[in-house]
């Protein structure tokens, strides 16, 4: 009986990791979890959780369809940490990235689309090299199976309105070109107590990625001898004081 239950659980796990996907519906700040899409733009896949494959689509900006009004904007301090819940958990292997885009003169976080050369990458994760004798899928990627993800707003970020874009790129079938799966969302933030950082380099969506780059066309299951050399897609991470 015990073995039957164990088998059933194992089977259910396999089903969920092969069919389930994920979204980022709730913003987390100072111990509060805000209701779905209160400060996060409602994504195109908020019901079906589908992955986005097309890296030439403007949907890549904020994963929105344009069918819903923009949400509210949350005030946060530079240097604080904010988070996103993961509905469905991150059930694929791949890097987690964060970008920010500043609203320009007479713009607000709610008024900007995320189009144009406006995005700076503020964080990325690489696979972790470890000697633990576990299947690669279960330990190599820091956010595998995460139910929330967190990011520090750069302390030197200038005061102003921003989009904060979370992105997870699933690579489990990326050994075939174009089979990278993109998941993500944008939060609207008003950043106060900011600094004098100069955000660089700026990039655009679409435009930041190409289907044949080594971070998006990669077999993470075979010939994976040097995961620490994995090249996360997109520009260099901008860091305060650099």
Q: How far is the CB of 221 from Cu ion (least distance, A)?
A: 14
Residue nearest Cu ion (C-beta atom):
181
Of 37-45, 99-107, 179-187, 198-206, the segment contacting Cu ion by CB under 5 A is 179-187
Q: How far is the CB of 173 from Cu ion (least distance, A)?
A: 7
Q: How far apart are CA 2 and CA 26, in angstroms?
A: 37
Q: Which is nearer to Cu ion, 124 or 181 (by Cβ)?
A: 181
Q: How far is the CB of 183 from Cu ion (least distance, A)?
A: 9
Question: Quick one: three-class SS letters along 23-72?
Answer: ECCCEEECCEECCCCCCECCCCCCCCCCCECCCCCHHHCCCCCCCCCCCC
Q: How far apart are CA 84 and CA 37, in angstroms?
A: 11
Q: How far apart are CA 93 and CA 142, in angstroms?
A: 9
The helix/strand/coil state of 87 is strand
Of 114-122, 155-163, 181-189, 204-212, the segment contacting Cu ion by CB under 5 A is 181-189
- Cβ(197)–Cβ(239) under 8 Å? no
- Contact code string over 64-103 relative to Cu ion, x by CB under 5 A: ----------------------------------------
Q: How far is the CB of 20 from Cu ion (least distance, A)?
A: 8
Q: Which is nearer to Cu ion, 15 or 129 (by Cβ)?
A: 15
Residues contributing to the site for Cu ion (CB under 5 A): 181
């Amino acid at each position: 009986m015990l073995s039957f239950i164990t088998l059933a659980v194992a089977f259910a796990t396999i089903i969920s990791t092969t069919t389930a996907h994920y979204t980022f519906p709730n913003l987390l700040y100072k111990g509060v979890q805000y209701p779905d899409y209160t400060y996060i733009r409602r994504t195109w896949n908020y019901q079906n959780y589908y992955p986005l494959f097309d890296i030439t689509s403007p949907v890549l900006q904020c994963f929105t369809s344009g069918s819903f009004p923009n949400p509210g904007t949350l005030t946060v301090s530079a240097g604080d940490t904010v988070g996103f819940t993961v509905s469905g958990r991150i059930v694929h292997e791949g890097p987690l990235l964060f970008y920010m885009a500043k609203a320009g003169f007479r713009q607000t976080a709610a008024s900007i689309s995320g189009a144009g050369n406006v995005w700076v990458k503020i964080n990325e994760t690489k696979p972790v090299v470890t000697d633990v004798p576990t299947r690669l899928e279960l330990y190599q990627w820091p956010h595998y199976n995460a139910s929330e993800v967190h990011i520090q707003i750069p302390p030197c970020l200038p005061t102003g309105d921003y989009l904060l874009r979370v992105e997870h790129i699933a690579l489990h079938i990326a050994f075939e070109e174009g089979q990278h799966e993109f998941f993500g969302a944008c939060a609207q933030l008003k950043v106060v107590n900011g600094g004098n950082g100069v955000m660089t380099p700026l990039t655009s969506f679409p435009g930041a990625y190409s289907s044949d780059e080594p971070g998006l066309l990669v077999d993470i299951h075979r010939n994976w001898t040097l995961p620490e050399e994995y090249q996360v897609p997109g520009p260099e991470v901008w860091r305060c004081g650099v």
